[in-house]
Copies of this chain bind each other. A is one copy, B any other.
């Protein structure tokens, strides 16, 4: 298995950038530990470490919006990765947008530029 430099990350966590393999939009960033990395490699589905829930997280386990990993790139320092994915359900963000980066800096404001795909209440419940 390819080893990453987990010792470099705080609490053994490294950032994983998720990019849509077709549109090349950056969809999200989440954190992986050694177990999430191993599971991503073995299953072909993006797994992360949830810092809020303190547990391994198969992306899409609640929403069904699983990320099928097409390619994985590793950076020069072996402490950051890029997953290029097919995003099932068409949306990566828990707020219902295609990408978590649905706002753009426009002078002193954040302007909404993202496309809303689903209503979070419909998917996660109220």
Interface residues of A (CB under 8 A from B): 1-2, 10-11, 15, 17, 19, 24, 26, 28-29, 41, 71-77, 80, 82, 93-95, 97, 100-105, 108-110, 113
Copies of this chain in the oligomer: 2
Q: A104 to B24, Cβ gap below 8 A?
A: no
Q: A75 to B105, Cβ gap below 8 A?
A: no
Contacting residues, chain B, for A105 (C-beta < 8 A): 2, 41, 71-74
Q: A29 to B2, Cβ gap below 8 A?
A: no
Contact of A110 among B71, B74, B100 (CB under 8 A): B74
CA distance A95 to B74 in the complex (A): 14
Closest residue of chain B to A109 (Cβ to Cβ) is B2
